[in-house]
């Protein structure tokens, strides 16, 4: 009698390597390696645009989504490698390598994002119009009424991609400058409500006219890069006045806005415009204008802040907390150093005014930007 043929040889020795595990690990490794390349290219493109003076607006949401997708890919493939290794008995080292690759992906993405943000610090953010404490911007439409008679940049040497990035950057800046017109109109009314001196009211009105000029020139650049008119659309929020306030609430709101949006925000806008370079006369002249005007607007913010403190010294703790909150939210080196300078200047002004609260440090660190008249918050 013949013995039955054996179906398979006995499983002596280590199990054979699973080719699917190897492939999954290889793809995970590629994902980890691709991520820094993507961020590096992003940074280079940003620097290229800066050098040629056409802004540095790489869509951050696109970078973030792409980086997240790559990280997710590495994670899924690594988990799959672990599962496959468990099912078919592949060496456990495969699963360990998968975990290491996933951790490497997270660390790489975080480091790359930091450096990308470091390079992407451009763009100005002046005084915003706040509705319910939140910054608001007008939508845009194809309106030539804001860009018809201003100097235009030379766009002949730009690639379509560079033009699109420049159009996006200057459209965003134009919307922010446009919103600042409404913000200074609101500040003028607030100063009248507070019985402020004529000098401050006049400076607020002049600042509004400065913002008209900034917005017009920025919309002109956006239109040139877009190759079609870009202008603000109807914006009903600009006419929203909010609920009635008492003088105490107005003083608190105006003081916080003057610190966050004026002293810090407009000072930062001035620094960013000053640091940006352009070979194009239309761009460089606008940057120089913005750098000069925004510094003046920041000085106006400090003076309005001083007025509020004169009227209400008890605002000092809230302002110190606001300075701490600004520093905590700083997302780039220029923001951090400027936030530190603003906090230092605030302490000095409080010391001179002898308005610093006794027995208190520089604040609690909690976000103080809630306004007494309702659940409103302000983000720098």
Q: Which is nearer to Fe ion, 155 or 189 (CB)?
A: 189
Are the C-beta atoms of 9 and 84 separated by less than 8 Å?
A: no
Q: Using CB under 5 A, which of the segments 49-57, 266-274, 333-341, 363-371 binds Fe ion?
A: 266-274
Q: Using CB under 5 A, which of the segments 62-70, 206-214, 299-307, 320-328 binds Fe ion?
A: 206-214
29-58: contacts with Fe ion (CB under 5 A): none
Assigned token pair, 256: 């916080």
Residues 57, 226, 261, 266: which binds Fe ion (CB under 5 A)? 266
- Beta bridge partners, 231, equal 141
What is the length of the chain?
380
Residues 121, 126, 229, 232: which binds Fe ion (CB under 5 A)? 126
Q: How far is CA 340 from CA 7, 22, 299, 323, 326, in A?
A: 76, 51, 17, 8, 9
The distance of Cα 361 from the centroid of its chain, to the nearest Å, equals: 29
Residues 49, 173, 177, 276: which binds Fe ion (CB under 5 A)? 177
The three-state secondary structure class of 231 is: strand
Regarding 214 and contact with Fe ion (CB under 5 A), the answer is yes
CA distance 208 to 289: 14
Q: Using CB under 5 A, which of the segments 43-51, 88-96, 265-273, 309-317 binds Fe ion?
A: 265-273
Minimal distance, residue 173 CB to Fe ion, in Å = 9
CA distance 262 to 298: 5
Minimal distance, residue 85 CB to Fe ion, in Å = 59
Minimal distance, residue 379 CB to Fe ion, in Å = 18
Residues in the interface with Fe ion (CB under 5 A) total 8
Q: Using CB under 5 A, which of the segments 50-58, 209-217, 280-288, 348-356 binds Fe ion?
A: 209-217
Token match 């609430």: residue?
249
The closest of 111, 81, 75 to 94, measured between CA atoms, is: 81
Pairing assessment for the beta strands 134-136 and 370-371 based on DSSP bridges:
unpaired
Q: Which is nearer to Fe ion, 18 or 171 (CB)?
A: 171
Which residues lie near Fe ion (CB under 5 A)? Answer: 126, 177, 180, 211, 214, 266, 294, 297
């Amino acid at each position: 009698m013949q013995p039955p043929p054996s179906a398979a040889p006995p499983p002596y020795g280590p199990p054979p390597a699973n080719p699917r595990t190897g492939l999954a690990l290889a793809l995970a490794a590629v994902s980890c390696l691709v991520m820094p390349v993507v961020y590096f290219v992003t940074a280079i493109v940003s620097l290229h645009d800066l050098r040629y003076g056409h802004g540095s607006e790489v869509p951050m949401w696109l970078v973030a989504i792409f980086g997240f997708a790559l990280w997710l890919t590495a994670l899924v493939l690594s988990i799959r490698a672990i599962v496959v290794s468990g099912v078919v008995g592949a060496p456990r080292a495969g699963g360990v390598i998968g975990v290491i690759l996933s951790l490497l992906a997270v660390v790489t993405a975080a480091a790359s994002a930091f450096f990308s943000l470091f390079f992407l610090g451009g763009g100005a953010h002046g005084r915003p119009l706040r509705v319910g404490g939140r910054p608001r911007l007008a939508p845009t439409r194809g309106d030539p009424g804001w860009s018809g008679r201003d100097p235009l940049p030379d766009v002949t040497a730009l690639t379509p991609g560079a033009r699109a990035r420049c159009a996006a950057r200057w459209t965003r800046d134009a919307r922010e400058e446009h919103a600042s017109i409404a913000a200074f109109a609101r500040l003028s009314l607030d100063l009248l409500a507070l019985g402020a001196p004529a000098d401050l009211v006049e400076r607020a009105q002049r600042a509004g006219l400065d913002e008209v000029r900034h917005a017009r020139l920025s919309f002109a650049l956006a239109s040139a890069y877009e190759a079609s008119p870009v202008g603000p659309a109807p914006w009903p929020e600009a006419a929203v006045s909010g609920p009635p306030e008492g003088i105490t609430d107005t003083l608190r709101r105006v003081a916080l806005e003057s610190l966050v949006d004026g002293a810090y925000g407009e000072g930062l806008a001035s620094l960013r415009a000053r640091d940006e370079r352009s070979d194009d006369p239309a761009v460089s002249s606008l940057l120089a204008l913005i750098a000069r005007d925004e510094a003046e607007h920041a000085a106006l913010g400090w003076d309005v802040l001083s007025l509020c403190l004169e009227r209400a010294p008890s605002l000092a703790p809230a302002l110190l907390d606001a300075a701490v909150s600004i520093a905590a939210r700083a997302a780039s080196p220029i923001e951090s150093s400027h936030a530190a300078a603003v906090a230092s200047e605030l302490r000095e002004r409080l010391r001179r005014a002898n308005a610093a609260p006794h027995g208190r440090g520089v604040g609690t660190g909690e976000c103080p930007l809630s306004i007494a008249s309702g659940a409103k918050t302000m983000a720098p």
